[in-house]
Amino acid sequence: QAKQQGRAGFCLFTPELGAQWQERHGLEWDLRRALAGGQFRLEYQPLVCLASGRVLGAEALLRWHRPGHGEIPPDQFIGLAEEIGLIGPIGAWVLQEACREAAGWPAPLGIAVNVSPLQFRLPDLYGTVKAALQQAGLAPERLELEITEGILMRDTRETLEVLCRLRDLGVRLAMDDFGTGYSSLGYLNRFAFDKIKIDRSFVRHLTNDPKAKAVVHAVMGLSQTLGIRAHAEGVENDEQAELLRQEGCEEVQGYLYGRPMPPQQFATLFRQAS
Ligand code: C2E
Ligand code: MG
Ligand code: MG
Ligand code: MG
């Protein structure tokens, strides 16, 4: 028994694991300096009306230029930021920056901002959102918060309270990556979401997998029954767009309409469109 544990313990110190630890430690070290170092920026991906092709607004997506390593995708550092207590300040910066940028766009163009479930457990998400809107001079109706399903399962009462206060302020709520989490339909209704964003994984297989098509069909029915706007993520080709149109999907986002882009480029896009 002891010998076994000893061997297991020894295994922890293989050079490979040592290198992994060093890599993570380096990432953490750099992430702690990224905000003060001005290494974050936002890109904007157009949200488009499927029927008219009109640009309705954009989703703000966080980008990190890590010195010596180049661009690090958010999937590779948001989780770490949550773990080491940085998601509060980073999330607040994203809200401020996104609202400031969107305030320069013609109304009613809107801005969608991703909010980590952990931000709901910090003392003052409501205050942070309100301050970001006020500082920017942006009408609350033009801000949409994207929340993943997982949040709704935890801390239900407090979460509900914050969501309700944000709604009272006029901010809109979208459920992000729908279909990948707990998919509790009861919550969808109870939390009074304005929008369901059907996850990219279903859209991707829409044209070749009957199951993906069935899921999209079911979500569309749900959206109609509950009176919640349906949005499809990750639309890459015309066949997908056509099927979504047939299903009655109202809003789309994806490489077919535009990749995430710097703010100047997004400004050019909606100026051309109007
Ligand atoms: P998300 O909120 O679901 O954002 C959509 C992701 O899909 C983005 O990846 C976007 O670039 C990508 N995407 C959009 N259209 C297409 C398409 O047609 N094809 C393909 N293959 N991909 C497409 P990105 O920017 O790498 O962000 C990944 C995730 O990181 C986001 O997923 C979101 O959960 C998180 N994230 C990004 N920015 C923030 C932020 O400011 N705060 C928080 N908490 N999370 C963020
Ligand atoms: Mg999102
Ligand atoms: Mg999503
Ligand atoms: Mg996602």
* Sequential DSSP letters for 78-118: HHHHHHTT-HHHHHHHHHHHHHHHHTTSPTT-EEEEE--GG
CB 45 within 8 A of CB 259: yes
Q: Is the CB of 255 under 6 A from ligand 1?
A: yes
pLDDT score of 192: 78
User: What is the CA(198)–ligand 3 centre distance, in A?
Assistant: 7
User: What is the CA(177)–ligand 2 centre distance, in A?
Assistant: 7
- Regions in the chain scoring below 70 on pLDDT: 1-13, 150-155, 182-187, 189-191, 273-274
pLDDT score of 44: 98
Return the number of other C-beta atoms located less than 10 Å from residue 30's C-beta. Answer: 18
User: Which of 99, 157, 97, 164 has the alpha carbon at shortest distance from 126?
Assistant: 164
CB 140 within 8 A of CB 170: yes
Q: Is the CB of 254 under 6 A from ligand 1?
A: yes
User: What is the CA(41)–ligand 2 centre distance, in A?
Assistant: 16
The whole-chain average pLDDT of the chain stands at: 90
Interatomic CA distance for residues 220 and 199, integer angstroms: 13
Lookup: tokens for 191: 């939390």
DSSP summary character for residue 51? T
pLDDT score of 1: 42
pLDDT score of 4: 47
pLDDT score of 256: 98
pTM flag (> 0.90) = yes
Q: Which residues surround ligand 4, an ion (CB under 5 A)?
A: 177
Q: What is the pLDDT of residues 94-108, one digit of tens each?
A: 999 999 999 999 999
CB 112 within 8 A of CB 57: yes
Return the number of other C-beta atoms located less than 10 Å from residue 237's C-beta. Answer: 12
pLDDT score of 40: 98
The angle at the Cα of 148, spanning 102 to 119, to the nearest 5 degrees, equals: 70
Residue 140 CB burial class (10 angstroms; 0-12, 13-18, ≥19): middle
pLDDT score of 186: 66
Q: Is the CB of 117 under 6 A from ligand 1?
A: no
CB 235 within 8 A of CB 48: no
Q: Is the CB of 61 under 6 A from ligand 1?
A: yes
pLDDT score of 11: 57
Q: Best of 41, 48, 71, 78 to mutate for ligand 1, by most ligand atoms within 8 A of CB?
A: 78
CA-nearest residue for atom 34, ligand 1, is 114
Q: Best of 83, 114, 266 to mutate for ligand 1, by most ligand atoms within 8 A of CB?
A: 114
User: Which of 101, 38, 25 has the alpha carbon at shortest distance from 66?
Assistant: 38
